[in-house]
Structure 1
Amino acid sequence: MSADTKYSLDVLPIDRPNVWVGRESELAVLHAAVGALGRGLGSVVWVEGEAGIGKSSMVAAALVTARDTGCQVLWGTADQLFQRLPLGVMLDCLRVRSGSPDPRRARIAAFLRDRRPGLFEPDDLAHTAIEMLVALVDESCTERATVVVVDDIQWADEASLLVWHRLAVAAEQLPLLLIGICRVGTGRREVRELRAATGRRGTVISLGPLNETDVTALVTDLIGVPPGPVLTEFAARAMGNPLYVCELVDALIRERLVGPAGELPETALDHIPFSYAAALNDRLGVLPARTAQMLRTASLLGGEFRVTELAAVLDVPASELAESVQDTVSAGLVVSVGRELAFRHPLIRQALYEGMPAALRSALHGEAARALAETGADPLRVAQQLLAADQPGSDWARGWVARTASVLVAQAPGIAVELLQRELDRPLPDQDDQQILLVGLARTLLSMGRHAEAATRARQALALAAEPQHHAEMYWVLTRALFSAGDNDRAVEAVRHALAWPELPALWRARLLAMLAMFQRASTGDLDAADATAREALAAGEEAADQFSMAYALIDLWLTHSVRRDHAAALSHVDRALDVLAEDPEHANLRTYSLDARVFTLQNLERWPEAESTLRYRRTLSPDRNDSGQVTSALTAAVLLYWLGRWDDAMAELDAVDLDATEITYAGLRERGPMMLRHGVAAMITSRRAERSAADEHLRAGLDLPIATISDRENSDFLLAAHALTAEQDGNPHAAVSILSGMLNRRPGEMTLTHQWLPDLVRIALDVGDHSAAVAALRSCQSEAAAEVPPARAAAARDRCRGLLNRDPAALRSAAAHYRKVGPSVPLAGTLEDLAATLAGSGDMAEARLVLNEAVDLYHTFGATWDIRRVENRLRQHGVRRGVRGGRPPRPTNGWEALTPTERRVAAMIAEGRSTPRIAQDLYLSRRTVQTHVSHILGKLDMRSRVEIAREALRHGADAAQG
C-alpha cells in the first residue's frame, strides 16, 4: 500500500529504542487498547508528560502489534511554529494531499485549495473540511481497524483539535484507536478541554521520570555493561528523562570517556554537557560545518520539510544536498518520512531553532519566504514564513500578499487577516496596494463573523477604492456587516447610499437591491415596499444575467408571501429561485437556504410527503456544497419530524446539532435564532414525554438567549410553547395562558406560525375560566386562516379553536377528518383529545371512549407520556375511562425492542458492513445524525462496538432490515 494510504510505523518521525525499560503499567494500558481494537472496540487514549519523557517512543512501541496485525496507523505531529495553519496536522496525519492516489483524499485537498467564500451566508470552509476528514476516517475504519495518533497535540490548530474531538466522540462506535500525545504545561484552553473530555470517555496516561532502577537499566543498554558509581551519579542528573539520558550518555561514548567496566573518570565531568541543547551541539560538532548549517536552516521549515524547499531556501541544487542529508540521517538527527524528511525528535528542531538569535531567525524566515515564493511554493508555506519573520513593509512581501490575498482568504482566513493587518498597519506608498489589502481584509473579516471590524475596514476601503468593482463589493460588505451586527437602520442607509452612486455596476446594483428588500422586511415590516424592491432587484438581475441576485430577489418574494400566508405564491417563488440557481456550486449556500424554505412552505401547504422528499434531496448534496447548512438542515428535519410524530428521529437530529457544542467548539452558531429553535423543539418533546429534567435544561438554555431581532422571535415559538406546557405541568395554567398569549400579535413582517399553538391556548384558557383569552386566540387564528392561500393548517387550527370555544363536536370532527386525510399526526392526536372531552361533556360517552382510545394510541406512538396522563384526567372528570383495553405497557428502554424503526435500519446496515457516511447517504440523514443513532443503539443494547451491533442485527434477521 502506498505511503498516501498507509503511514507505516517504519517511517514514523519519532525515537523508538530497540530495548524498552520501565513503563510496564502504561504499556499494558496501550497494549490492551490495541487488543480491543483487534476485536472491533475503539477507544481514546491521552498520553502526557514533559518533553523527552518518552511519550512518543512508548506509543510507537505499543503500536508495533497494531501494525503487525494489519491495522492502519496514521501519525501526524503538530508544530509550534506553524500551529495557525487550519487543519495542518490533521491533513498531514491523514495524508490528505493533492497528489494522493486515493480519490477521497485528493478531493478534500482540491476542496481546500479551490473553494471560495459565498455571498449569501459566510462560508465555514474549515467546518466543511472537518466533516470530510471525519467521514474519511469513518470510511477507513470500515475498511480496516485504524489508529490515529496526533503527536505534540498541544501545538495543533483549533480546527485540528475539533477533528480530534469529533473522532473521540465517534471512537466508541468504530474500530478506531485515537491517541493524543501532549507535552504538559502549554496552558491552552482548547487543549485542557480536550484532555478533560478524554478523561471522561477514555484513558489518560501521565508519564513521570524513570526511577533509578530504570535509568540504570537504560544506561546499561546504551553502554553494554552496568554503569559505575560516577556514571550512575551523572546519569541521575538527567532527572529520569530518558531522552536526556540517551543524549548525554551518547556524548560520553562519542568522546570515548566510558571505560570497559562502565566507569567514568571524575576528571571527565568538567567536559560533559549538562543540558540537552549542549549535548545536541556536541553531536552537531562531529558534522561538517556545511551540514550543520543546512540542518539549522531546515529548522526554519518546521518539523517536517522537503529537500526541494530546503534547496530553494539555500539557493543550491537539490543534488548538492544529498551528502549532507545522508550525514544527518546517519547521525540520528533526521529520519525519512515518506517523501519528506523529519527531525527525529521535536526537541532537536527546537534546540536548533532556538539556538539562533531571534533577529537572525527573523531575517532567515524573511529570506525563506521570498525564496519559496519565487519557486511558486504553496502560498500557505510562504505565508507561514512571513508570519514567523514578522517583518512587514518590504515591497516584495506587500506585493505578494496583495496578489495572493484571495487564495489565503479561502484557505486560511486567520493567517490572511494577520498578514493583511500587518501590512496595513505600516505606511503604504502605493494606494493601489492599500486598496487591494483593505478589500481582502474587509471581505475576510465579514466571512469570519467579525462584523464591527469588517465594517470599519470596508469604510476605509470605500474611501480609497477607485475601481468600481471594489467600491461596490465594499458597500456589500459594509451593509452585511452592519445588518449582522444588528444595526438595521444604518445598513439600510448604507445600501441606499450605494444605490445612489452613479457608477455602481449593474450586477452589484441588482445584488444590493435584493439585500435591501430583505432588510426592509426585517427592519420595518413593510411587505409592500419589500416586494417592490425585490421585483426591481429581479428585473435588474435578469438584465445583468446574474443568477445570484435573481434567486436572492425570488427568496425575498418567498419570504414576504410566506408572512402574508400566501403559501401557494411562496412556493412558486422558491421553486423559481431553485431553477435559477440550478446546480451552480458558486451559490451553494443560497441553494441550501432555498431548499429549507421549500420544506417550510410544503409543510404549510400540508404536502408532508413532498416536504420529506425535498429534505432528502437537500441531503444528497455533496458535503462541499452543503457546508454552512449542516445545523439548519438538522433543525429543518427536526421540526418536520416533530409534527409527523417521529420524535425519536427528531431528537436524534437535535442531538447531532450538539456534537460540536460539547467540551470544544470551532465556529458554533453565529445567530441566536437557530439555537432557540434547537432548544425549543427539544424542550417540547422532552416535556411532552414527561422527561422534565431534560426539558428544564433546554428551557433554561433557550430562555437565557435574548430576543433582539425578528429572526429571534420567529425561532422562539417552540420555546415559548414548551415553557407554557411546563407551567401547565407545574399546576400553573394561568402562567401558561400568559406565555401563550404573548404570541397572539405578530409584529409587522414577522413570519411566526402562531396558529400552531392557539388551540392549546383556547383549551387552557377555558380550563381557568379566562374566556376573553380564549376568544382572542380564536380571533387570531381566524385572521391567519382568512389570509391562508390555499386553506390548510391555519384553517384546520381555526376549526379546532372554534370547536373548543363553542363546545362544538362538528367543528372538531371536521378538523380531525382534515388531519386524517392530509396529516400530520401530532395535531390529529390533540384534536381527537379535544373531541373526546367535548363529546364526554355533552354526554356522548360511547363515542367519547372510542375517540379517547384513538388519541391515546397516537400519543403512545410518540411516547407522549404527559399527554396521555392529561387526556385520561380530562375524560375521567366526565366519568370516561378507556375501558377493557386498559393501559399499554411502557415503551421498553433496553434491548432490541427498545430500538426505534430508524435505529433498527441503521443496525441492519451496520451488519451489512456499511460505513457511517454510506448509511447517511442511503437513509438521507446527516453523518452526525447517524452517529447519534449508533450511540443510542449501543446504549440501549448495552454494547460497546459496531461488531456487537452487527451480531445482534444478524441474529434478529429480517426484523432488523425492516425496522
Structure 2
Amino acid sequence: MVSRTAMAVWVGRAAELGALAAAVEGLACGNGAALWIEGEAGIGKTALVARGLAPARAAGYQVLTGFAEPLTRRTPLQAILDLVRICPRSPDPRRARIAIALRERRLGPGEPAADRAAEIELVAGLVAELCVAGPTVLALDDVQHLDETSFLLWQRLLRVADELPLLLITTCRPAPRRRELCALRAAVLRHGNSVLSLAPLTEPEAAELVRGLAGQLPERVRELAMGNPLFLRELAEAARFDGLARLPAALVERLVPEGSVEVLRMAAVLGEAFAVTEVLALTRTAAAELAPVLREAVDAGILLDRGSHLEFRYPLIRQALYDALPTALRAALHREAAQVLAATGGDLPRVAGQLLAAGQPGDAWAREWLAAQATVLVGRAPELAIELLTRDVEHAPAPDEHGAILLLALAWAELSAGRYEQAVPRARHGVAVAPRAGQRAEMCFVLARSLFGLGRGTEAVTAVRQMLSRNDLPVIWRSRLLASLAMFQRAGAGEVEAAEHSATQALHLAESAGDPFGTAYALIVLWANCSVRRDHGTALATVDRALAELRTGGEHADLRAYAEDARLLTLQNLDRWAEAAQAPVAGVSAAVLRYWLGRWSEALAELGPALADFSHAGLRDPGPALCRHGVSALIAARRDHREAAEEHLRAGAALPITTAGDRENRDFLVLARSVLLEQDGEPRAALALLAELLLARRPGEMSLSHQWLPDLLRLATELAEPDLALAALTACRAEAGAETTPGRAGVALQRCQGLFDRDPGPLRAAVEHYRAVGAAVDLAASLEDLAVVLAIGGEPGQAREALHEAVTRYRECAAEWDIRRAEGRLREHGVRRGVRGRRGGREVSGWDALTRTELRIADLVADGQSTPGIAAGLYLSPRTVQTHISHILAKLGVRSRVEIAGEVFRRREGAEVG
C-alpha cells in the first residue's frame, strides 16, 4: 500500500494506531487478524497503515501492500495478483507458475466463462505458503474498486486469517456501498475483528496539523477541508504561495517539476500506475531522453518507483494533470494509448480500458482489435468487456463482419454473467442480422440457453427447432444445437425418449465433424438418460467417454466440470464412495458427497460463506442454488442450528422451480423442512411433505428418491400409517428393480424391508454394507433403525449396542437432533444407552476429540506440509483443510500451526516412551 496520503506531521489517531499495533504484535504469537479501515479520500487511511506497519517491517515480516483502482474492478483478481506480486516474470518460481496458469485459463468456443474457484484456490494456496514461511501482512487500499472474484478471494483469506500468522488490512471509502463491500465488512466483524472508522480531524487537530506544516489558514478556510488531512495540507501549501482560487493548477505548478509536466500529463492518461515502456511509446521519446524527466518526478515525490512500474503518489495531482488536457485531446490520447499498448503486448484489460475511456465507438482499428480479442477479453475481464462491447454494438445496430463478431461476444458475455434478460434480446437480434449461418446458429445457441436460464424452456425449444429447420447450418452447430435441444427436452420437460433421439443424432454429427464439445455435450445428455433409467453402469461408461473427449480437446472448462460432477453422482449411485471421494470436484457437488460421507463441516466449507457474503456465477441458476441451500439447511437442522436452517430454507423457497432439473435439486430442502416439522412436534406434516416429494416422481426426472424413502417409511411406521409405509416400500422396490447394476437403491430397499417387516436381518446386511463402503450417514441411520427393530423383537442388549454406535457416529457429525430422535425412539421400547465412559461418545477437547481426518492433518502440519500440499495428498480442497485446521486449533486449545506441531511432537514422544 503506497503512502499516497502521507502527512508530514502526525496528528491524532492514537486509538487506531493502538489497534494496528496490537494486530502486529499478535503475529509474533502466530495469531492472525483482520482490520477494516474506512473513511473518505484523503482522511489518512493509507498514512495510518504505513505508520502502523512500520514495526512489522522492522521485525522482518512479509509486508505486501497494494491498491485497487476502478479499472481493476473489471479484471478478475488483478488487484490481489498485484498485491501478492504474481506475474509471469516474477523471480519467485511459485508466483510465476501461478501467473502462467491463470493466463492459460481461456474460454473454449461455445461456452460461458469458467468458474473462478480454481484461481481463488491457487492464490489462497500461495498466501498459506507465505504464512508458513513467516508472519505475513497483506494490506489492500481502496477495496471499493475490487471485482467480484477478488471479493470472494478476500473472504476466503478472511476465514483462515485467525488460523495463520496472517494480518489482512483493507481500506475503503464509505460510499457508495456495493453489496459485496457490505458483506465483506460484515464478515470482518463476524469473525471478531475490528472496523476502524476514521473521522475527520477536530478543529483543534486541524489547526495543529496546519501549524506543524509551517502554514497558516484562517478558520473559515480550514473548514473547507472538513477535517481531511490531505486537503488541509494541500490547502495550506497552496494558500501560502498561490491562493485558493487556483488550487488545482497551483498544485501542479508548485509540486510538479516544470520539465516533467507534459510527460506526466501523458502518463496521467495511462492511469494511476503505468510502465515506463508505455510512456516511451505514447510520447515517442527515447529512453535516454525520458529517464531524467521521470527521475526528477520521482525525486520530487510526484511519482513512486514500484520496480516494474511507476505510480502517482497523489491521485489529486494525477487528476489535476489529467483534467488540464482538453476533452478532445484526452479522447485522442486514450485511443492512441490503446493502440500503443496493443502493439507492445500490453495487458488486454488495459488496452480495453483505454478504448473505453476514449469514447469513440465505431473506430475502425478499435473494432478490428476488439473483434480479434473479444473472446479472451470476456474471459479475462467480463464486466469491462460487456461495457465496451455494449457501447460498440449499440453504436452500430446493423453489424458488418466485425460487428457480428462483437455482437456474438457480447451475447456470450451476458450469458456467462447470468444476465439472461439482457442476453435474450441481444441474441434474438444476432439471429436476425448475423451475416453467416454459423454465427446465426451460435446466436441461437446463446438465445436458447438464456431462455432456459429464465425458466422459459418452451421458448428455448422453439428457437432451437426453428434454427434446425434451416438447410445452411454447419455440421458442428447442427450437432451442438441438437445436443442443446436434447438437454432442454430432458432437463426441462422430462422427455427422455425425445432427448435420447436428439442426443443420438447430435452425437453422430459431432463425431463426424470431429467436435469434442458437441460429442461430449451429447454424451452428457445420454448419461442423464441412463441415470434416469437407473442404468448406472452404462451411465459411468458414457460420462467417462465424454471426459475423454474433453481432455483431448483441452478446452471447455465449464462442460468438463459438469461432466466431473456427473461422474461423481454416478459413483455415488453405485456405492463406490472411496472412488468418489477422490474425484476432482468442488462446490455443491463436493458438499453433497461430503454430506453422505458424514464430513459435514467439510461440506459446509465447500459451500462457502454465509448467505450475506455469497455470490458466485456458477450458482445463479436455480438448480445448484437449490441444492446448496438444501444441503446447508439439512445439516443445520440436524445439528439443531434452527436459525441457520430457516435462513437457508427461506432463500431456497425464493428460487423458482420450473424444470425437471430444478425438481431434482430440491430434495435436500424438503428433507430439511421435514426435520424442522418433526422438531416442532408435527410429524404428520413432515410425513405428508415427504410423501408428496418421494411418491410423485415425474417421468424423466433423475430425482434419487431411494436415498430418502427409509425416512418416509420410518415416519409412516411410527405414525401407524400402513398404506404410506407400503407405498414407500413399493417405491423403493421399484427403484432397486430398475438398477441394472446393484447400487444404492438396492441397499435402501434392505433398510425399508427390515423396517417394514421388523426384521433385523436385512437391516444388519445394510449396516455391514454401509460399513464396508464408507457411507457414514446411511450407516448411522441404519444402526438406529436396527436398534429399534431389535428392541421391538425383545433383544435390548443388542439394541443398546446398535444405539450406542449410532449415537457415536451421529456425534461425529454433531447431529444433535438425530441423537435426540434415536434415544427417544429407543426409550419408547425401554432401551437406554446408559453411561459408557464420558456420556456422548467423542470428547470435545484434546486429542480424543479429533476425528481420523483431523489426526492425519495434524501430523502433516507437524511434518511441515503446506495447506495446498495437504489438500492434494488427501484429495480435499484447501478450504476444507483450513476448516479442519481450525477445528484442530480449537480442540487442542492452541493458536497456530506451530503450536499444533509442538503438540504433535509431544504426543509422539509420549507414544515412544509408552
TM-score past 0.5 threshold: yes
The amino acid across from 1:631 in the alignment is G
CA distance in 1, matches of 2:345, 2:819: 70
**Superposition deviation, residue 750 in structure 1:** 0.7
Task: Pick from 684, 703, 728 the counterpart of residue 734 of structure 1.
Answer: 684
Contact preservation (8 Å) 1:48, 1:181: yes
Task: Identify the residue that residue 98 of structure 1 maps to in structure 2.
Answer: 88
Task: Identify the residue that residue 204 of structure 1 maps to in structure 2.
Answer: 195
**Superposition deviation, residue 559 in structure 1:** 1.3
Task: Identify the residue that residue 33 of structure 1 maps to in structure 2.
Answer: 23
CA distance in 2, matches of 1:237, 1:855: 71
Cα distance change on mapping 1:103 and 1:501 into 2, 3 Å: farther
Contact preservation (8 Å) 2:5, 2:42: no
Task: Identify the residue that residue 324 of structure 1 maps to in structure 2.
Answer: 293
CA distance in 2, matches of 1:634, 1:916: 18
**Superposition deviation, residue 283 in structure 1:** 0.5
The amino acid across from 1:732 in the alignment is E
Task: Pick from 590, 602, 618 the counterpart of residue 634 of structure 1.
Answer: 590
2:479 matches 1:510:
yes
Structure 1 segment 364-443 matched on structure 2, within 5 A: 364-427=333-396, 431-443=400-412
Contact preservation (8 Å) 1:112, 1:411: no
Task: Pick from 518, 533, 540 the counterpart of residue 571 of structure 1.
Answer: 540
The amino acid across from 2:193 in the alignment is G
Structure 1 segment 496-895 matched on structure 2, within 5 A: 496-582=465-551, 584-613=553-582, 615=583, 618=584, 630-641=586-597, 646=598, 649-659=599-609, 661-663=611-613, 665=615, 667=617, 669-742=619-692, 743-816=694-767, 818-819=769-770, 824-843=775-794, 848=799, 851-852=802-803, 855-856=806-807, 858-859=809-810, 861-882=812-833, 888-889=839-840, 891-895=842-846
- Secondary structure at the aligned position of 2:902 is classed as helix
2:265 matches 1:296:
yes
Cα distance change on mapping 1:244 and 1:766 into 2, 3 Å: closer
2:420 matches 1:451:
yes
CA distance in 2, matches of 1:121, 1:927: 27
Task: Pick from 248, 272, 276 the counterpart of residue 277 of structure 1.
Answer: 248
2:466 matches 1:476:
no
Task: Pick from 4, 13, 25 the counterpart of residue 14 of structure 1.
Answer: 4
The amino acid across from 2:136 in the alignment is T
**Superposition deviation, residue 26 in structure 1:** 2.7
Residues 313-342 of structure 1 deviation map (CA, whole Å, 9 limit, x = unaligned): 233333332333233233332222213221
**Superposition deviation, residue 741 in structure 1:** 0.8
The amino acid across from 1:782 in the alignment is R
Contact preservation (8 Å) 1:153, 1:180: yes
**Superposition deviation, residue 738 in structure 1:** 0.5
Cα distance change on mapping 1:31 and 1:841 into 2, 3 Å: closer
**Superposition deviation, residue 564 in structure 1:** 0.9
Residues 142-181 of structure 1 deviation map (CA, whole Å, 9 limit, x = unaligned): 2222221222333334433443333333321222222222
After the TM superposition, which of the residue ranges 177-186 and 753-762 deviates more from structure 2?
A: 177-186
CA distance in 1, matches of 2:886, 2:482: 47
Task: Identify the residue that residue 258 of structure 1 maps to in structure 2.
Answer: none
The amino acid across from 1:380 in the alignment is P
- Secondary structure at the aligned position of 1:749 is classed as coil
Q: How many residues align?
A: 910
CA distance in 2, matches of 1:674, 1:342: 43
Cα distance change on mapping 1:894 and 1:357 into 2, 3 Å: farther
CA distance in 1, matches of 2:314, 2:329: 23
**Superposition deviation, residue 847 in structure 1:** 5.2
After the TM superposition, which of the residue ranges 798-807 and 139-148 deviates more from structure 2?
A: 798-807
After the TM superposition, which of the residue ranges 787-796 and 184-193 deviates more from structure 2?
A: 184-193
Contact preservation (8 Å) 1:96, 1:108: yes
The amino acid across from 2:715 in the alignment is I
**Superposition deviation, residue 771 in structure 1:** 1.7
Cα distance change on mapping 1:433 and 1:870 into 2, 3 Å: closer
Contact preservation (8 Å) 2:808, 2:840: no
After the TM superposition, which of the residue ranges 119-128 and 470-479 deviates more from structure 2?
A: 119-128
2:875 matches 1:904:
no
2:230 matches 1:243:
yes
After the TM superposition, which of the residue ranges 832-841 and 505-514 deviates more from structure 2?
A: 832-841
CA distance in 1, matches of 2:786, 2:116: 53
After the TM superposition, which of the residue ranges 576-585 and 333-342 deviates more from structure 2?
A: 576-585
Task: Identify the residue that residue 315 of structure 1 maps to in structure 2.
Answer: 284
**Superposition deviation, residue 56 in structure 1:** 1.7
After the TM superposition, which of the residue ranges 815-824 and 567-576 deviates more from structure 2?
A: 815-824
The amino acid across from 1:570 in the alignment is A
CA distance in 1, matches of 2:709, 2:495: 25
CA distance in 2, matches of 1:240, 1:857: 62
Cα distance change on mapping 1:313 and 1:126 into 2, 3 Å: farther
2:864 matches 1:913:
yes
**Superposition deviation, residue 275 in structure 1:** 7.3
- Secondary structure at the aligned position of 2:617 is classed as coil
After the TM superposition, which of the residue ranges 890-899 and 781-790 deviates more from structure 2?
A: 890-899
Cα distance change on mapping 1:691 and 1:241 into 2, 3 Å: closer
Which has the greater radius of gyration?
Answer: 1
Contact preservation (8 Å) 1:656, 1:932: no
Contact preservation (8 Å) 2:280, 2:287: yes
**Superposition deviation, residue 689 in structure 1:** 4.2
Contact preservation (8 Å) 2:183, 2:612: no
Structure 2 residues not aligned, in runs of 5+: none
Q: What's the TM-score once normalised by structure 2's chain length?
A: 0.91
Contact preservation (8 Å) 1:52, 1:347: no
- Secondary structure at the aligned position of 2:556 is classed as helix
Cα distance change on mapping 1:315 and 1:713 into 2, 3 Å: same
CA distance in 1, matches of 2:808, 2:54: 58
The amino acid across from 1:496 in the alignment is R
Q: What's the TM-score once normalised by structure 1's chain length?
A: 0.86
Structure 1 residues not aligned, in runs of 5+: 1-8, 256-270, 620-629
- Secondary structure at the aligned position of 1:99 is classed as coil
Task: Pick from 23, 36, 61 the counterpart of residue 13 of structure 2.
Answer: 23
Contact preservation (8 Å) 2:588, 2:627: no
Contact preservation (8 Å) 1:244, 1:276: no
**Superposition deviation, residue 125 in structure 1:** 5.3
Task: Identify the residue that residue 42 of structure 1 maps to in structure 2.
Answer: 32
CA distance in 1, matches of 2:109, 2:869: 31
After the TM superposition, which of the residue ranges 439-448 and 92-101 deviates more from structure 2?
A: 92-101
After the TM superposition, which of the residue ranges 83-92 and 684-693 deviates more from structure 2?
A: 684-693
Contact preservation (8 Å) 2:114, 2:558: no
After the TM superposition, which of the residue ranges 812-821 and 678-687 deviates more from structure 2?
A: 812-821
Task: Identify the residue that residue 4 of structure 1 maps to in structure 2.
Answer: none
Contact preservation (8 Å) 1:953, 1:960: no
**Superposition deviation, residue 244 in structure 1:** 4.0
**Superposition deviation, residue 925 in structure 1:** 0.9
Cα distance change on mapping 1:850 and 1:317 into 2, 3 Å: closer
**Superposition deviation, residue 35 in structure 1:** 2.1
**Superposition deviation, residue 886 in structure 1:** 9.1
Residues 787-809 of structure 1 deviation map (CA, whole Å, 9 limit, x = unaligned): 11123332333333333334444
Task: Pick from 132, 140, 148 the counterpart of residue 150 of structure 1.
Answer: 140
CA distance in 1, matches of 2:497, 2:569: 22
**Superposition deviation, residue 546 in structure 1:** 2.2
- Secondary structure at the aligned position of 1:741 is classed as helix
